[in-house]
Chains A and B, each alone.
Chain A
Amino acid sequence: RRSIHNDNKTRGVRGRFLKMIGTQAAIGSDILDIGSRRAERHSDGVGARAPPMLRFGEPGAFDVPNVPDPAQFCRSNFASASGNKDEGQAVKFAKGTTTLAFKFNGGIIVSVDSRSTMGAYISSGTVKKVIEINPFLLGTMAGGAADCSFWERNLGVQCRMYELRNRKRITVAAASKLLANTMNSYRGYGLSMGTMVAGWDETGPQLYYVDDDGTRLKGKYYSVGSGSTYAYGVLDTLYRPDLTVEEAIDLGKRAIYHATHRDAYSGGINNLYHVTKEGWVKIHSIDVNDMHYEFIEEKKNAMSS
């Protein structure tokens, strides 16, 4: 059985695999022997048969299927990619769907929906897609629910370690870079994560988009997920950097509403956060269905006046 170990000495995933093929002479012989090969590789003097010890900030060694091309196998059978990429798979994972965030003069607004789907089945209507990494950093969830929550929680650990070692809070640029590097090490394995890291550090409000293929982009506004195109329509039209806080909250709310209305995979409740110099604050949790009737009223009033 092979395993991949994320040991931050970036030798590339392929390099590690070639090494492992060399050391595992007879694949059949260790099928029953689950622990010993891994223990050999991780003997840091912790004990001959000790399970792989968790090094802080890194996950433990991950098992991969014992096939010639594990990356391709995982991609085609266990991918939790958004859209229909897991249509033919036997195992479907929970997916997340419309999130957006934008920077303006008053800080950052992060607005998300709350629907999680497994194929065409809505597995939950109350998912928390904004992950509170620490009181000054927020991460959003789009793509694979487990992938996002695990790696953003892991990012929280790494940010805390940074704080302890350097006696200052981590910058948004550095935090997003840590996440992007992690994604890069598992590139090709079928992870699915489209997240935005938003926060306020010494350089002001910052917003980064980080992807499962290691993309990391700094920007003014982003929308991620299956409903992102609808949200972009609204954002592109109404966004201005000099919005007031009320206008910005309204924009965040409206963009998510339109996305949930048109995209089948988005819906539920709109959770909206505002990131300020003092940290993030949760503004509201409104059912998008209620918003629909609110906007209808508004249109009626606008038409009659």
Chain B
Amino acid sequence: CVIASAGCKTDVDQLRSVLDIKHKVYEHNHRKTMEVTSTAQMLSNTLYYKRFFPYYAFNVLAGVDAEGKGAVYSYDAIGSFERTAVTASGSGQAYLIPLMDNVIDHKNRNDERRELGREEVVEIVKDAFVTAGERDIYTGDSVDIWIITAEGIEKTSFELKKD
């Protein structure tokens, strides 16, 4: 599974370090890789144990669950989490989430819902970031996209406006 985090980079790096260690310990103790659902709970607890001195990190966790379905979890800074269909965090989240709710999750629409293919969703995500980049001064330069499937993880990047 993949974690993406917005916020203070040092806290994000530290959080990843800590999670990495906990992951390894789990693998040694249980002789298997951590499931997404377990990682989600672990991240929540890790964040909450710093409740009185928080990690300034707003995370999104993504992976494929044991049944092969995609899982996306969104977090606040102290570990409140929820499994959702779409999510975003950071300065541009208010521009991205409504767009994704409507286009990808088909919310508040009257037409019939249809299956979206993989390439189509990647294009929608690219468009969403371009849109956010136009309206949020802090979003720009470039985007990395990780596509996570049961087969594995693929990474693509593309450039945004440099202004």
Contact = CB atoms under 8 A, between A and B. Distances in A.
A91 B54 contact: yes
A30 B50 CA distance: 18
A295 interface: no
Interface in A139-168: 144-147, 149-150
B79 A146 contact: yes
Given A91-B77, A93-B80, A149-B80, A59 B52 contact: no
B53 A65 contact: yes
B82 interface: yes
A60 B51 CA distance: 11
Nearest to B78: A146
Interface residues of A, number: 31
Contact of B80 (A59, A63, A94): A94
B51 A124 contact: no
Given A121-B94, A124-B84, A146-B47, A62 B52 contact: yes
Interface of A: 4, 59-60, 62-65, 70, 74, 78, 80, 91, 93-94, 116, 118, 121, 123-124, 126-128, 144-147, 149-150, 189-191
Given A62-B52, A63-B50, A78-B52, A144 B82 contact: no
A91 to B, nearest CB: 6
Contacts of A126: 82, 84
Contacts, number: 71
B76 interface: yes
B82 A62 contact: no
A62 B48 CA distance: 9
B72 to A, nearest CB: 12
Nearest to B51: A62
Interface in B16-70: 44-45, 47-54, 56
A147 B79 CA distance: 9
A146 B48 contact: yes
B112 to A, nearest CB: 19
A144 B80 contact: yes
Nearest to A141: B80
A94 B94 CA distance: 15
